[in-house]
């Protein structure tokens, strides 16, 4: 009798012995592939949280993409995208922070003038600087 080939590709099928982390296909119904830190967490989630009629299809189609060159390229592409996006966001924050500080300083000065006006007309104003204070 021939030996059964080990299941190293299909985490949703019985006796999976492949990697738990890496690039996988069809873990979600609307995503072709993605990285997972522990695919078995997703398998368990599908088994316990998805509608019964969806479970067999979802589990049957999950696949480890470790030997798929395009999946490896996609993982690198995404890592590069994230790095560039993070750099842009850091640059954005560096440019935005002075603008925010200037706005807040001018806003605070105008709020002080507004409070002076209000206190002139409402000497016993219940504003404490942040909110109205109601009697107990």
Which position has the token pair 């989630």? 45
Q: Above 80 in pLDDT, residue 1?
A: no
pLDDT (average), residues 64-69? 96
E strand map for 11-131: 22-28, 31-36, 63-64
Phi, psi torsion values for 48, nearest 5 degrees: -105, -20
Contact call for residues 63 and 24 (beta carbons, < 8 A):
yes
Per-residue pLDDT at 135? 87
Q: What per-residue confidence (pLDDT) applies to 82?
A: 95
User: In 10 A of CB 89, how many CB atoms?
Assistant: 11
The residue among 65, 69, 16 whose CA lies nearest residue 40 is: 16
The model carries a pTM of 0.68
3-state SS, residue 126:
coil
- The domain locations on the chain are 1-67, 85-136
What is the β-pairing status of strands 31-36 and 63-64?
unpaired
The residues, any chain, with a CB within 8 Å of residue 85's CB and separated by 6 or more, are none
Give every CB contact of residue 50 below 8 A, 6+ residues apart in sequence.
58
Query: Could you tell me what percent of the chain has a pLDDT over 70?
Result: 99
Is the pLDDT at 32 greater than 90? The verdict is: yes
How far apart, in whole angstroms, are the C-alpha atoms of residue 8 and residue 18?
A: 4
The least confident of 25-34, 110-119, 127-136 is 127-136
pLDDT band of residue 2 (cuts 50, 70, 90) is confident
Q: Which residues touch 26 (CB under 8 Å, ≥6 apart)? A: 32, 33, 58, 61, 62, 63
- The per-residue pLDDT of the chain, averaged, comes to 95
pLDDT at 102: 96
């Amino acid at each position: 009798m021939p030996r059964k080939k080990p299941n190293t590709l299909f985490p949703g099928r019985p006796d999976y012995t492949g990697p738990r982390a890496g690039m996988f296909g069809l873990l979600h119904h609307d995503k072709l592939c993605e990285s997972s830190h522990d695919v078995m967490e997703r398998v368990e989630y599908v088994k316990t949280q998805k509608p019964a009629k969806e479970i067999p299809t979802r589990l049957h189609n999950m696949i480890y993409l470790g030997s798929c060159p395009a999946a490896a390229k996609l993982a690198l592409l995404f890592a590069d995208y994230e790095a560039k996006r993070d750099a842009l966001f850091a640059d954005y924050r560096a440019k935005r922070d002075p603008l925010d500080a200037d706005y807040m300083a001018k806003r605070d000065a105008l709020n002080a003038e507004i409070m002076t006006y209000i206190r002139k007309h409402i000497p016993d104003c219940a504003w404490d600087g942040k909110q109205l204070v109601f009697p107990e």
